[in-house]
């Protein structure tokens, strides 16, 4: 009998009002039923938002340094339970243990970063234009924040959103992806153990079309923070815009790594392999395009193909495995469709391109590391997000063409260039249209103390992580203190 799990509302574990549940299964082994989780609906969302609204009135008055101490305690607990949490993530979403340990570590780093901000949260003071008058600005919490998070970083991304929201004095309702509910439950258990007060953090499981939509439309939600596809992001933005509700969107990417003819080719190949096939290509920052100078293209391509064919595929719980499964059957079917599209468009398939089902892998959603060359910028496999282990190689003849090709997609999240020429590096930093640029590093590997996000269809202008995230989760209030003892009229000629 599978374990049946619950929502967490107002400090209590509760079943869905409907009594319905959904299955959570291991993508590496469909026979492995992890548990049953609440198939929640609008009634559950309403209860969670109501609890968050009540808790917000108390939580916003807790001094920010005290809120920081609680978040620091969460970080310590995440560190304590790191080796317990990593296998939970791997079993639930498939990526290898080295990566899920990294996911937890990112949560730890995020906790400590935000805990410190409890003693900062800087506003500004500025000279007033009148005598005996003081002027300043401060950050104010917004209220109830709906956090809608994806499955590929089931711990790290919730921490990116939740810790800044809490340190600023907001209350939250977390809606995790239905593919990774168990990791979210473990996270909530840690928050509860750390002493986060009841109602400040609420967890509601369920499908995006039901729970996510109800959260976005709920009148008691003042802010929506969403990470996911551009298609869904546009729908959320439309609803929030109609209701003048704040919304932060972090969406897709079609990230590219440039390799110039003066690059360290061994280093560039290592970066491309990690960027393209880490997390089975299921990162918004994954390297899905390799833009290579034509003079070195054959050498780089041959090395990549040889290395890709040696990647060990299997259950991520096996420490010797290099790459785990895709998240589910729909994801694998999508990747297969793009393989067909690439062939039809005239790209040349060099390796991979099919389902991997050797031995025990037959019970999971495994896919071969795949590389295309002879790819043109206009091809769909060079423009659309595949979200799988598929790398497209495009040849260029100079830096200007490389940057033009890199920019020629609807997205602008992460980018990379390998070169030994500092001038080329700085021109790339200036001219690439992306929120993140790496020099001699892959397109994956962002750190929590710098802004994270992108341009064009990647987002709506906000940045998560770093200190810029507090502009999402706070409102600015300007304050004037007149201690002159008389009426002073700003901007009025008093001469």
Residues catalogued as catalytic: 250, 284
Cα distances from 77 to residues 192, 405, 449, in angstroms, run: 11, 45, 20
CA distance linking residue 21 with residue 455, whole number of Å: 38
CA distance linking residue 192 with residue 186, whole number of Å: 10
Contacts of 424 (CB under 8 A, 6+ apart): 260, 262, 399, 417
Mutual angle of helices 399-407 and 422-431, in 10-degree steps:
30
Backbone angles phi and psi of 238, in degrees to 5: -65, -45
Mutual angle of helices 181-194 and 64-80, in 10-degree steps:
120
Cα distances from 412 to residues 119, 237, 286, 386, in angstroms, run: 34, 18, 12, 15
Nearest CA-CA partner of 92 in 81, 103, 108: 103
Backbone angles phi and psi of 442, in degrees to 5: -75, 175
Both tokens assigned to 446: 């962002």
Backbone angles phi and psi of 271, in degrees to 5: -65, -40
Look up tokens 């043109």; give the residue. Answer: 376
Mutual angle of helices 82-93 and 97-117, in 10-degree steps:
120
| First vs last C-alpha separation in the chain | 84
CA distance linking residue 107 with residue 141, whole number of Å: 22
H helix runs in 197-322, sequence order: 213-217, 230-242, 265-277, 297-308
Nearest CA-CA partner of 171 in 251, 67, 72, 245: 67
CA distance linking residue 199 with residue 167, whole number of Å: 15
Contacts of 98 (CB under 8 A, 6+ apart): 319
CA distance linking residue 265 with residue 85, whole number of Å: 36
Proportion of the chain in helix, strand, coil states, percent, rounded to 5: 40, 25, 40
């Amino acid at each position: 009998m599978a374990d049946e799990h619950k929502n967490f509302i107002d400090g209590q574990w509760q079943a869905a009002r409907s009594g319905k549940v959904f299955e959570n299964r291991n993508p590496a082994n469909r026979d492995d039923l992890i548990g049953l989780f609440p198939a929640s609906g609008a009634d559950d969302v309403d209860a969670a938002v109501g609890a968050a609204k009540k808790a917000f009135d108390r939580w916003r008055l807790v001094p920010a340094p005290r809120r920081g101490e609680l978040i620091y305690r969460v970080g310590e607990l995440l560190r304590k339970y790191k080796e317990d949490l990593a296998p939970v993530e791997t079993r639930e979403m498939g990526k290898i243990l080295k990566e899920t340990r990294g996911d937890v570590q990112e949560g730890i780093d995020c906790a400590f970063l935000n805990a410190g901000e409890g003693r900062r949260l800087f506003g500004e003071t500025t000279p007033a234009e009148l005598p005996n008058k003081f002027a300043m600005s401060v950050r104010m919490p917004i209220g109830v924040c709906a956090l809608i998070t994806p499955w590929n970083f089931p711990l790290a991304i919730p921490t990116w959103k939740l810790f800044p929201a809490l340190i600023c004095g907001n209350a939250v309702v977390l809606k995790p992806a239905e593919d990774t509910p168990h990791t979210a439950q473990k996270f909530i258990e840690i928050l509860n153990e750390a002493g986060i007060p009841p109602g400040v953090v609420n967890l509601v499981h369920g499908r995006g079309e039901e729970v996510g939509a109800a959260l976005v439309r709920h009148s008691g939600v003042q802010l929506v923070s969403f990470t996911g596809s551009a298609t869904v992001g546009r729908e959320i933005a439309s609803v929030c815009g109609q209701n003048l509700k704040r919304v932060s969107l972090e969406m897709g990417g079609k990230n590219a790594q440039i390799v110039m003819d003066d690059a360290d080719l061994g280093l560039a190949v290592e970066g491309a392999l990690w960027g393209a096939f880490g997390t089975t290509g299921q990162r918004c920052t994954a390297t899905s395009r390799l833009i290579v100078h034509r003079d070195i293209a054959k050498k780089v391509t041959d090395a990549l193909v040889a290395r890709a064919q040696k990647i060990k595929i299997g259950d991520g719980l096996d420490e010797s495995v290099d790459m785990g499964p895709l998240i589910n059957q729909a994801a694998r079917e999508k990747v297969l469709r793009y393989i067909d599209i690439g062939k039809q468009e005239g790209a040349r398939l060099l390796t991979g391109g099919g389902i991997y089902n050797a031995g025990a892998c037959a019970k999971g959603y495994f896919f071969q590391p795949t590389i295309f060359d002879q790819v043109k910028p206009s091809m769909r496999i060079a423009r659309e997000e595949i979200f799988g282990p598929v790398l497209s190689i495009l040849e260029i003849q100079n830096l200007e063409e490389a940057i033009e090709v890199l920019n020629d997609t609807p997205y602008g999240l992460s980018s990379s260039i390998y070169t030994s020429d500092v001038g080329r590096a700085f021109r790339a930093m200036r001219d690439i249209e992306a929120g993140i640029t790496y020099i001699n590093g892959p397109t994956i590997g962002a750190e929590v103390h710098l802004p994270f996000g992108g341009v064009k269809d990647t987002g709506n202008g906000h940045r998560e992580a770093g200190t810029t995230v507090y502009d999402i989760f706070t409102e600015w209030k300007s304050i004037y203190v007149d201690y002159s003892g008389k009426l002073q009229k700003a901007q009025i000629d008093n001469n």
